[in-house]
Structure 1
Amino acid sequence: MSASVPRAAARVRALATLGLLALTAVWGSTFVLIKDVVGRMPVADFLAVRFAIAAAAMALLFARPLRRMSRLQVGRALLLGTVYGAGQLLQTWGLALISPSVSGFATGMYVVFTPLLATVLLRQRLAGVVWLATLMSLAGLALLSLRGFEVDLGVWLTLASALLYALHIVGLGHWSRADEAFGMSAVQTMAIALVCMLATAPHGPVLPPDRAAWIAVLYMALVAGAGAMLMQTWAQAHLSATRTAIVMTTEPVFAAAFAVAFGSDVLSWRMLAGGALVLAAMYLVELMPRRRGKADAALTAEAVHHEV
């Protein structure tokens, strides 16, 4: 009986990892859509409409879980959503000033910031293999996205967004619980929508200009917005913040794969090498068998999610 408990926990962690991979694949598929839509409507307006639709859908679907949430969890979810929404705006404003490749690399710096914040804020002692995987992810990300680099205002804004994303990952991993994933996801999405709405002041959000833009916005709102937030919140109830960050660095791998598949990019050695490094980093923290229970605990820090 006792042996079945670790096996069940391992299965849940595997499902959580697969869920994170699925949501990063969805995010990777959205780059072409976003590029098209934001070329025809203001960025802040696009984000406001997208997350307002996502928030409305989640409020309708998860009204009962919302009513069951404690004030403490509502406050935590609002804080996390505000952090994430601010990160979205900073990233987008930074993207307007720098190239997409530099933006992708600077945003991906959350893979470095996450273990640092987990160490400082949560006093987590991370195994050496985690730091090795972090450096491998960073190197892979550089190969996938970086084409020259110059530090300017756009880079600083994007690095600030990466820091906020890392803070969101750490906070969500620390506070999320599987039985409250629906409610927490809905409240976070509402907070993100509010932050983005405020960014469109004083005129308010401009609506998508045509049917194609509406279809893209609805996909971004319901699948890449509400669905992704729900999956991330549930998955982080079972995974550590650092593992989550490393798994989520597969997003540029999926983005490159979709770009090649749809003919907007050509397969190159940088894609292959960068993707291999990111996947190898994920293998180190997720798929490699643990030889000792202590190492597993150091990597996952699962207990902290249930003691707070």
Structure 2
Amino acid sequence: MRRAHTAPLLALVAVTAIWGYTFVPVQNAVALYPLFAFLAVRFGISTLVLAPFALRPLLRLPRAGVLAGLGAGVLLAAAYGLQTAGLELTTVSSTGFITGLYVVLTPVIALVLFRTPVPAAAWTGVALALVGLLLLNGVPGGSALGNLLVLANAVAQSFQIASMERFAPRYDARALTFLQMAVSCVGFTVIAVSRGELSVPHERSVWFALAVTGVFAGALGYLVATWVQARTTAARAALVFTLEAPFAALFGVALLSERLGWLGWTGCAVMLAGILLAEPAAAATLRRLVGRPGAA
């Protein structure tokens, strides 16, 4: 039974590690290729990768399932679009912290919409994750409008995570993920074409970033996330998703020679402590890894 709880948790941690890593190649790619065009091609790749596996489940999906997948796709695309627009007006650190507020908003939305109970330990983990984000990114600054757009992105992400808690157990994960990728692809293609940005990228580093984000972070990452969210609550999923921030910081240190500082390292540790406190399977796995006596 314990393994049944541990496997989804480890899968979700692996996904957040991939998402955290993608900040490195994407940062280089969008310096050479327009961002909305990048998002359009990225989600196009994800859609094409998932299509052979999703076609049959999609044909069997009831109308309610199709609407659920399309709605989640609109929320996902809105989150990416709002974050992108906000990032152009505010600071990176503010974007990182405000985006992470979905860890607070998600359990509240799930509680209000779906009456999903949130244990006290989960709320404590959420509070620690919020403190960790503050230590990692600092106090928000920058443009008020930019921060407001990023906050709207956090709200959209929260609704998307909460909706997956509701619909992932009911419908096929492949079909739901395909619909989300397809809606995002269409939305960003429209934006990129309207801005006159869509073209075939020529740089090898851009194609590498597109492959990593399209195949692993997009198709595989969201497929795994949807599968996991059929087996856990929105609050727990949102809490694990916050690991994307420390993973991004760690990859920045390892691959870009960035400096984290003692506040940043403390923030990472506090966020990890929050997840260990809120997720018993995480604590059990850690005890087995360090080989503590009696960690059966």
Closer, same or farther in 2 for the Cα pair 1:126/1:177, shift >3 Å? Answer: closer
Identity %: 35
1:135 maps onto 2:127 in alignment: yes
Displacement after TM superposition at 1:150 (Å):
4.3
Amino acid at match of 1:112: V
Q: Is the 8 A contact 1:185 1:229 kept in 2?
A: yes
List runs of 5+ in structure 1 lacking aligned partners: 1-6, 291-308
1:92 aligns with 2:78: no
Which SS does the other structure have where 2:279 is aligned? helix
Which of residues 234, 239, 246 in structure 1 aligns to 2:239? Answer: 246
Aligned match for 1:234, one of 215, 227, 237: 227
1:53 paired residue number: 45
**Shift, 1:288, TM fit:** 6.7
Q: Structure 1 residues 289, 259: closer, same or farther in 2, change over 3 A? A: closer
Quote the Cα distance in structure 2 between the aligned partners of 1:177 and 1:209. 41
Indicate how the Cα distance of structure 1 residues 172 and 179 shifts in structure 2: closer, same or farther if over 3 A, else same.
closer
2:257 to 237, 251, 264: 264
Q: Give the aligned partner of residue 71 of structure 1.
A: 63
2:107 aligned residue (115, 121, 143): 115
In the superposition, the TM-score normalised over structure 1's length comes to: 0.87
Check conservation: 1:54, 1:225, Cα contact below 8 A. yes
Measure, in 1, the Cα distance between the counterparts of 2:282 and 2:181.
36
C-alpha distance after superposition, 1:179-226 (max 9, x if no partner): 711111111111111111122233462332312211211111011111
Deviations 1:130-180 (A, max 9, x none): 222111101101111225524511100000000000000000011102871
Matches within 5 A, 1:39-50: 39-50=31-42
Output one character per residue of 1:208-246: Cα deviation in whole Å (capped at 9) or x when no partner.
231221121111101111111101100000010000000
Task: Write the distance in 2 (CA, Å) between the matches of 1:167 and 1:156.
Answer: 17
The amino acid that maps onto 2:25 is L
* Residue 146 (1) aligns with residue 138 (2): yes
5+ residue gaps, structure 2? 284-296
Equivalenced residues, count: 282
Specify which of 6, 20, 36 is matched with residue 14 of structure 1. 6
- Whether the 8 Å contact between 2:9 and 2:281 is mirrored in structure 1 is no
What is the one-letter code of the residue matched to 2:246? V
CA deviation profile, 1:15-47 (whole Å, cap 9, x unmatched): 111111001000110111111111112211110
- Distance in 2, matches of 1:127 and 1:54, equals 35
Superposition RMSD in Å: 1.9
For residue 105 of structure 1, the aligned residue among 97, 102, 105 is: 97
After superposing the two structures, state which structure 1 stretch, 253-262 or 178-187, moved more.
178-187
Q: Which amino acid aligns with 1:99?
A: T
Deviation at 1:123, TM superposition (A): 1.9
Match of 1:35 among 5, 12, 27: 27
Partner of 1:176: 168
Does residue 222 (structure 1) correspond to residue 190 (structure 2)? The answer is no
CA–CA distance in 1 between the matches of 2:281 and 2:78? 35
Cα distance in 2, alignment partners of residues 151 and 179 from structure 1 = 41
Q: Deviations over 1:105-127 (max 9, x none)?
A: 11111001101101211122322
Which TM-score applies when normalising by structure 2? 0.90
> What is the DSSP-based 3-state SS (H/G/I as helix, E as strand, rest coil) of the residue aligned with 2:201?
coil
1:208 aligns with 2:201: yes
